[in-house]
Amino acid sequence: MDKPAVDICQQFLDVLKVERQLSPNTLSAYERDLSQLVSYCSEQGLNAWPELTSHQVRGFIAERHRQGLGSRSLQRELSACRSFFAYLIKIKILPNNPAGGIRAPKAAKSLPNMLDVDQIHGLLEVEPSGPLESRDLAMWELLYSSGLRVSELANINLMDIDLSGKTIHVVSGKGKKSRLLPIGSKAISAIHAWLSVRTQFDIMDEMALFVGKRGARLTTRAIQSRLERWRKRQGRQGRLYPHMLRHSFASHMLESSQDLRAVQELLGHSNISTTQVYTHLDFQHLASVYDQAHPRAKQKKK
């Protein structure tokens, strides 16, 4: 494509960064997706965006599918294209959106991985060995107690925690949304234990609740690494990552309360359809109980 057409892509990315304040990871995804679109258009001999038709957008999605891209990735690329074309309409380069009405193949819904209640108890009923493990246990308890995302856990400041009121204020969750969440007694005890040894560190970030050996705020990658270390110490098999504790929190809360709206609020989901995936997990548990308990659930052996 001609340079002016490519330059408009960068203008669009600048708008996303400044006006919509998207995260660096999201911006990188937009940049990769638009780069794929530009490459495809160049292969088709297109020089400017008004030359692009709906038929060619379908061809682009089909080509990416042939290259092995999964349904979710195709949906993301198509969404990026729609947003870019909407911007081109806004600045009067396109009369309409050539991606309108085009759908990517639907992705099969995968159920999130989670731990059952006994596995959670096994994970958390551990005597910490030293200050770092006291910190780690406080993190795992808080993830499971309040259903936090790992990024939310990393961003918690001391002032966000009210231990006497048994609440945590998630100041800036996903989509820049804040919410006030309860904290369970086990998590409160673990946080008290961590705060009693936190003073042993040369604190660089005085606001951060969770810091590393050098006193700096823990990153999400460091938290993931510590949880993997925790798994190995216990000799647990299989994968274990912070979001599994959030999934477990959601499933266990829904199973006990049957209140989908309340769980949606606790998780900070904008759309209740996102929360509904946990109803499938709940049904799987009920179906398993049924198979084991109902006298006529299984065929008799001949």
Q: How far apart are CA 30 and CA 24, in angstroms?
A: 10
In terms of DSSP H, where are the helices of the chain? 3-18, 24-43, 54-66, 71-90, 117-124, 131-146, 150-154, 185-198, 220-234, 242-257, 260-267, 272-275, 277-293
Please confirm, yes or no, whether 174 is among the known catalytic residues.
yes
Residue 290 pLDDT: 53
Which residue in the list 198, 217, 246, 252 is annotated as catalytic? 246
Q: Which tens digit of pLDDT belongs to each residue from 156-187?
A: 999 999 999 999 998 865 556 788 889 999 99
Cβ partners under 8 Å of residue 179, min gap 6: 169, 170, 173, 265, 266, 268
Per the residue annotation, which of 72, 174, 186, 236 is the catalytic one?
174
Output 267 or 153, whichever has higher pLDDT.
153
**Which pairs from 44-53 meet CB under 8 Å and 24+ separation?**
46/1, 47/1, 47/2, 47/5, 48/1, 48/2, 48/4, 48/5, 49/5, 49/8, 49/88, 49/93, 49/94, 50/93, 50/94, 50/95, 52/98, 53/98
On whether the CB atoms of residues 1 and 43 are closer than 8 A, the answer is no
CATH architecture designation of domain 3-90: Orthogonal Bundle (1.10)
Catalytic residue among 64, 135, 149, 217: 149
- Residue type at position 231: R
pLDDT greater than 60 at residue 296: no
pLDDT for 293 beyond 70: no
- How many CA atoms lie within 13 Å of 87's alpha carbon, on the beta-carbon side? 20
- Asked if 40 is an active-site residue, the reply is no
For the question of whether the overall pTM of this predicted structure is more than 0.85, the answer is no
| Band (271; pLDDT cuts 50, 70, 90) | confident
Report the C-alpha gap between 87 and 15 in whole angstroms: 9
* Banded model confidence at residue 302, pLDDT cuts 50, 70, 90: very low
Q: How far apart are CA 16 and CA 28, in angstroms?
A: 11
What band does 282 get if pLDDT is binned at 50, 70 and 90? low
Q: Is 65 a catalytic residue?
A: no
Residue 149 falls in the annotated catalytic set? yes
Predicted pLDDT of residue 176? 64
Whether domain 117-290 has CATH 1.10.3720.10: the reply is no
Domain residue ranges in the chain: 3-90, 117-290
Nearest to 242 by CA among 263, 264, 227: 227
d(CA 78, CA 62): 11
CB 173 within 8 A of CB 268: yes
Q: Is 21 helix (H, G, I), strand (E, B) or coil?
A: coil
pLDDT digits (tens, 9 = 90+) for 59-101: 998 888 888 888 878 888 999 999 999 999 999 999 999 988 8
Confidence band (pLDDT; 50, 70, 90) for 203? Answer: confident
Q: Which residue has the higher pLDDT, 196 or 203?
A: 196
Residue 107 pLDDT > 70: no
Tell me: the pLDDT tens digits for 117-155?
888 999 999 899 999 999 999 999 999 998 899 999 999
